Structures are given as C-alpha cells and as structure tokens.
Amino acid sequence: MIDRQTTAEYPFQRTDAEWRAILTAEQYAVMRGHATERPGSCALLREKRSGRFRCAGCGISLFESHGKFESGTGWPSFTEPVEGAVATTTDRSHGMLRTEVHCANCGSHLGHVFEDGPPPTYLRYCINGVALNFEASS
C-alpha cells in the first residue's frame, strides 16, 4: 500500500480536460477528486443481474456480480475485485486511517475497502456507484 498523496503512473492516461469532457460533474468529483456520492443515490446499488462492473473512466472490468452483496451501507459492496483490477493506497483524510481503492488502470478513485465483509474474504469493497458502469451477461 502506498500513501494516497503519491503520484503514480497508470497504463491509461487522460488529461484533466479529457476527464472533464467524458465524466459527469459528480463522476469527476468522485473519481478524480476523491469525493463520495450520497448513500443510496446510485441505481447500481440495486443491480441484481449477472454481469460485470466496469470502471466508468477507462472501461476495465473491476468487479463481477457474483461478488456483490447487500451491506446496508448505501453503496454497492463487493467481496473481491477482478484480479489485478484495483490498487489501494493509504487514505488519511477526515482524521481517519482508511484504505482507498482505485482503478489500477487509470487511477480513478472508486471507494474504500474495509475488513467487515462476509466470508470467505471478510472484505467489503465499498464502491461509489457513479465510478462504475454495469455490463449484463448475455
């Protein structure tokens, strides 16, 4: 885990102007500015179909639907990411020590991971729904 203030190079790059052009204002605030969407505000919270959840910034597959669960927190929650799809950094904001989750491909902020999830991983990847696009299985 690296400190969230560390600037990292990611395989997928966009300029700030390009990010602003493709993301909504809310997506930009969350994904590039580390904001958090209002709990319960995203339709993906209630998504039950089989499929995959992709990064809204670069399109890589981040989470599979079989790992999604109802956490009662107001944000989509997952037990594990697609292997190699996410990275973590230390988040010391708001007077807390948390583990931030971001896209390993483009660096976009996704949410946080906590150790209070269900078995077998006991992890809860608490993800901002606006940072995701859902692709249903055919």
Per-residue exposure over 93-116, b if at least 16 CB sit within 10 Å of its own CB, e if not: eeeeebbbbbbbbbbbbbbbbbee
DSSP state letter for 80: -
Fold observed for domain 13-136: 2.170.150
pLDDT at site 3 = 36
For every one of its 138 residues, what pLDDT tens digit does the chain have, with 9 covering 90 and above? 333 444 468 999 999 999 999 999 999 999 999 999 999 999 899 999 999 999 999 999 999 999 999 999 999 999 999 999 999 998 888 788 889 999 999 999 999 999 999 999 999 999 999 999 999 997
Whole-number pLDDT of residue 8 = 63
- pLDDT value at position 25? 97
Collect contacts of 47-50 with beta carbons under 8 A, ≥24 apart: 47/76, 47/134, 49/134, 49/136, 49/137, 50/136, 50/137
Residue 131, token pair as written in the block: 């940072």
How close are the terminal C-alpha atoms of the chain, in Å? 36
**Catalytic residue chosen out of the listed positions 42, 58, 103, 126:** 126
pLDDT value of position 96: 80
Strands 77-78 and 124-127: antiparallel
Active-site residue flag, 106: no
